[in-house]
Amino acid sequence: MDVREFLGLTRSGDDLRWSFNVGTHLITPGQFLFGGCGLGAALVALEEATGRPTVWATAQYVSYAKTHSTVDITVEIQAVGGRLTQARAVAREGDREVLGVTAALGSNTLDIGGVWVEMPDVPAPDLCPPRRLPDEVRNSIFEHVETRVALGRTFEQIDGTPGGPNSAMWARVPGHLEPSAATLAIFGDYVSGGVAHPLGMRVMGRSLDNTIRMVQLEETEWVLCDIRMDALVNGYAQGTAYMWSEKGTLLATASQSLAIKLWDQ
């Protein structure tokens, strides 16, 4: 199963127009479209329209798409260069804009460089405990993306005691072996769950934006989401996920700003 099949994306006439239904496998516990799925769908459309891979993309979430609604995506090519295309995609439910994505897509060859961040030393996926789901988050995307806790605490261990700012989990879509920018955009939205660990409290995070920066792709069954929270002040949090293959290759980074509230409020 590839990411297009997982998202249920279909063309609506040409490569500039796409649509998908917001099934229960694409929603948050709040019963609306999971932000990473919206960004992922836009990236599929952008890459098809431009014929180029994603370098960078950022989504601004302006509204919600409800469960079982139809989301239409329209791509606008803004500038085409020899190596890079600038483009925008807008996702709408009916006449209402849900999110807008601005992106740069392309490729280059340069023989110098390196990766200057390090993957945390964590156990392999089969040695990590499953990230068990509380009843409140069932019937959502969290039942369709398998996750295992590699660093930090499980839901049951969140007991009011503050922890460190870093946590990590292995994630996979069963049967999906070839990560894409769209797949990594879905995993990158798990930054929103990283606030609970430093606080030691169960909270809900609503994404205001979601930015993905691609590094390189390689085949891997599991992706390590190495989540590093920066701050939570005045109800807004910021954090970054470094996403690694099982071999230790940095695939991409994803960052977010989040509006935070306590779980029971």
Per-residue confidence at 135, pLDDT binned at 50, 70, 90?
low
Whether the predicted pLDDT of 134 surpasses 80: no
Whether the predicted pLDDT of 106 surpasses 80: yes
pLDDT for residue 158:
84
Average pLDDT over residues 201-213: 92
pLDDT for residue 143:
84
Per-residue confidence at 15, pLDDT binned at 50, 70, 90?
confident
Are 203 and 263 in contact by the 8 Å Cβ rule? The answer is yes
Per-residue confidence at 132, pLDDT binned at 50, 70, 90?
confident
Q: Which amino acid is at 250?
A: L
Please, what are the domains in the chain?
3-106 (2.40.160.210), 125-262 (2.40.160.210)
* Structure-block tokens of residue 132: 């068990």
pLDDT for residue 166:
96
Q: In sequence order, what are the beta bridge partners of 224?
A: 170, 244
Whether the predicted pLDDT of 248 surpasses 90: yes
Average pLDDT over residues 28-32: 88
Q: What are the C-alpha distances in Å from 152 to residues 67, 163, 168, 193, 258?
A: 31, 8, 7, 12, 20
pLDDT for residue 177:
61
Coil vs helix vs strand at 23: coil
Average pLDDT over residues 125-149: 83
Going by C-alpha positions, the residue among 57, 51, 55, 18 that lies closest to residue 36 is: 57
Q: What are the C-alpha distances in Å from 118 to residues 19, 78, 121, 147?
A: 38, 36, 9, 21
